[in-house]
Amino acid sequence: MQRVRLEAVRKSYGPTTVLEEISLDIEPGEFLVLLGPSGCGKSTLLNIVAGLEDASGGRLLFGDRDVTRLPPDERDIAMVFQSYALYPTMTVRKNIGFGLKMRGEPAALVEERVREVAALLQIGHLLDRRPSQLSGGQQQRVAIGRALVRRPSVFLLDEPLSNLDAKLRADMRVELKRLHAESRRTTLYVTHDQVEAMTLATRIVVLEKGRIQQCDRPEVVYARPANRFVASFVGAPTMNFVEGRLEAAGDHAALRAGDGLIPLPGLAPAPGLKVGEPIVLGFRPEHVATASAGETGTVPGRVLMSEPTGPDLYVLFGLAGQTITARLPPGTDLPPQAAVPLRLDGAAASLFRPADGQRLN
């Protein structure tokens, strides 16, 4: 258990800035996920925490210890790489024990700890194999074992699941969650997969262009994205956006988009928002529902296409001149081109400023 603190950490390669003044406080035992598209700087940030790259500025503290200038092996960290980076010529046993051996631990202790970890990860029967004789999932376990065996105070994972197929990925996700729950080690986890981020994280840091866009609990990041980037990056299918002006319709707010009016019942009045102000409305597909004809507070939509996925039915609607996606219960009967009244859940809606995409409510 270790507190990790980043103070204005910067990174630039010559004139190119990769990370701008990142400050973060990671609580002891936290599972922090760095989420972002490729090239956002998340791996660079992880490498800086690991000590594999030097920060161009700022400080890095583990507890009270300033580790900014320490080499990786003196930071008391362990790391799992996307490619696993298992040593191809060593057996699983030697792979897992290599770090301890380099640290000068006695062979008996190394062996004991390797066995312990192998048992924990259920790879005891593989100890004498070489990485090339293992399946992808087994290699993944060995890579995790190699990190666990060192009992690091900070655990770093760089897209560890992205080389696995979908089924294995789901299994390993559960496994990682279990391991974290048991060991409560401070963990930093880099991924571009928002499902991994949502399921694993105690907090998510969304990165884009070297800046932190939002840092919060997964449900907050999902429900109240800090800006349009976060809103569109997190969630699949992606959030619907409709541009327009704020209006009042009876007792609730509404959005005037083109010649249509979208009522937003339940939208809490936000301070400083005035009627007539241009805004971008964001709402997730699950916050759209069909209504029966004649109900108030609805907006007419036209069915463009239906995509049944099994548990859900995704329907593309034309609405106020724009295309939106709705997530509806399966079995809803919607013939193409049918006109359907739709109700939006205003309480769950997000409003963004058109100029810079910042959240307004």
Partner 1 sequence: MNAMRRGALYLMLTVAALAVLFPLLVMLSTSLKPLDEVTNGSLFALPQDPTLDAWRKAWGSACISGQCSGLSVWFANSFAIVIPALFGSLALGAITGYALSLRSSRWSDLLFAALLIGLFIPPQVTLYPMIVLVREMGLFGSLPGLVFVHLVWGLAFVTLLFRNFFLSVPRDLLKSARVDGAGFLATFWYVLLPLSLPVAAVALVLQFTYIWNDFLLGLTFAGPGRQPVTVALNTLAGSQFGAQEHNVNMAATVIAALPTILVYFLSGRLFVRGIAAGAVKG
Partner 2 sequence: MTETCPPRRRWRLPQGAAPAIALVPAALITLVCFYLFIGWTFAISLTDSRLLPNWEFIGLEQYRRLFASSRWWTALENLGLYAVLFIGGCTLLGYLLAILIDRGVRAEGVYRTIFMLPLSMSFVVTGIIWQWMLNPGLGIQQAVRGLGFEEFAFNWLVRADRAIFTVALAGIWQQVGLCMALFLAGLRGIDPNIWKAARVDGIPTWRVYLDIVTPMLKATFFTSTILLFSLAVKSFDLVVALTGGGPGFSSDLPARFVMEHILTRQELGLGAAGAFVMLCTIAAVVAPYLYLQNRRGAA
Q: How many residues bind partner 2 (CB under 8 A)?
A: 11
The one-letter amino acid code at 292 reads: S
Piece of the chain touching partner 1 by CB under 8 A; list 6-14, 27-35, 94-102, 292-300: 94-102
Question: Does residue 65 bind partner 2 (CB under 8 A)?
Answer: yes
Question: Does residue 98 bind partner 1 (CB under 8 A)?
Answer: yes
In the complex, the smallest distance separating the C-beta of residue 146 from partner 1, rounded to whole angstroms, is: 8
What is the CA 76 to chain-centroid distance, rounded?
25
Q: Pick between residue 183 and residue 290 the one whose CB is nearest to partner 2.
A: 183
β-pairing verdict for 186-191 and 154-158: parallel
Q: Pick between residue 144 and residue 319 the one whose CB is nearest to partner 2.
A: 144
In the complex, the smallest distance separating the C-beta of residue 104 from partner 2, rounded to whole angstroms, is: 9
Spatial CB neighbours of 15, under 8 Å, sequence gap ≥ 6: none
The two structure tokens encoding residue 121: 């990860």
Binding partner 1 (rule: CB under 8 A), the pick from 14, 15, 64, 102 is 102
Piece of the chain touching partner 1 by CB under 8 A; list 47-55, 197-205, 224-232, 264-272: 47-55
In the complex, the smallest distance separating the C-beta of residue 103 from partner 2, rounded to whole angstroms, is: 6
The two structure tokens encoding residue 263: 């009522």
Question: Does residue 76 bind partner 2 (CB under 8 A)?
Answer: yes
Is there a contact between 129 and 90 (Cβ–Cβ < 8 Å)? no
> What's the rounded Cα separation, in Å, for the pair 159 and 153?
20
What is the CA 265 to chain-centroid distance, rounded?
30
Question: Does residue 153 bind partner 2 (CB under 8 A)?
Answer: yes
Indicate which of partner 2, partner 1, none lies near residue 265 (CB less than 5 to 8 Å, by partner kind).
none
Q: How far is CA 249 from CA 241, 258, 287, in A?
A: 20, 16, 19
> What's the rounded Cα separation, in Å, for the pair 244 and 233?
22
The 64-93 contact track toward partner 1, x by CB under 8 A, reads -------xxx---xxx-xxxxx-xxxx---
Q: Which of residues 137-176 bind partner 1 (CB under 8 A)?
A: 146
Indicate which of partner 2, partner 1, none lies near residue 151 (CB less than 5 to 8 Å, by partner kind).
partner 2
> What's the rounded Cα separation, in Å, for the pair 224 and 284?
11
Q: Is 259 left (phi over 0), alpha (psi -120 to 50) or beta?
A: alpha
Piece of the chain touching partner 2 by CB under 8 A; list 66-74, 85-93, 137-145, 195-203: 66-74
First-residue to last-residue Cα distance in the chain: 36
The two structure tokens encoding residue 288: 């759209």
> What's the rounded Cα separation, in Å, for the pair 314 and 325?
7
Interface positions with partner 1 (CB under 8 A) = 47, 50-52, 71-73, 77-79, 81-85, 87-90, 98-99, 102-103, 146
What residues make contact with partner 2 under the rule CB under 8 A?
1, 65, 71, 73-76, 103, 151, 153, 183
